[in-house]
């Protein structure tokens, strides 16, 4: 497949690492991105282009911010785990 969007390639690679076959991982990834509104008819939608431009770092921060109800800029990204966590200071656990 020519011109595979990086957001699709990343998801396919993660699914393959979890043990999925190549074709099944690609179909599943396309289905996930289509349901989320990031892809339509095999191409990125405007929303998908925005998400792709954010990269792994931005998408992880957005997911965590939505889950925690905080500003994405107050989160720290861990590339090894592809997760963002809250930065805290002192014993009061207030966000920086």
Domain-located, residue 95? yes
Structure confidence by residue, pLDDT tens digits, 5-52 = 999 999 999 999 999 999 999 999 999 999 999 999 989 999 999 999
pLDDT band at 91 (very low <50, low <70, confident <90, very high): low
What average pLDDT does this structure show over 59-80?
A: 89
pLDDT value of residue 70: 87
Long-range contacts of 16-24 (CB under 8 A, 24+ apart): none
Residue 50 lies in a domain: no
Whether residues 68 and 88 share a domain: the answer is: yes
Residue 82 is assigned to a structural domain of this protein: yes
Instruction: Please choose, from the candidates 77, 81, 51, 80, the residue with its C-alpha nearest in 3D space to the C-alpha of residue 64.
Output: 77
Per the structure, how many domains does the chain have?
2
Name the residue range of residue 33's domain. Answer: 1-44
Q: Are residues 30 and 60 in the same domain?
A: no
Phi, psi of 82 (to 5 degrees): 60, 40
- pLDDT computed for residue 46 by the predictor: 95
Q: With pLDDT > 90 as the criterion, what percentage of the chain qualifies?
A: 56
């Amino acid at each position: 497949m020519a011109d595979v969007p990086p957001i699709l390639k990343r998801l396919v690679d993660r699914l393959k690492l979890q043990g999925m076959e190549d074709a099944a991982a690609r179909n599943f990834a396309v289905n996930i991105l289509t349901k989320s509104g990031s892809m339509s008819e095999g191409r990125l939608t405007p929303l998908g282009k925005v998400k792709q431009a954010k990269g792994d770092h931005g998408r992880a921060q957005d997911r965590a911010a939505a889950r925690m109800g905080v500003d994405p800029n107050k989160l720290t990204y861990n590339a090894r785990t592809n997760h963002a966590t809250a930065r805290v200071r002192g014993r009061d656990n207030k966000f920086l």
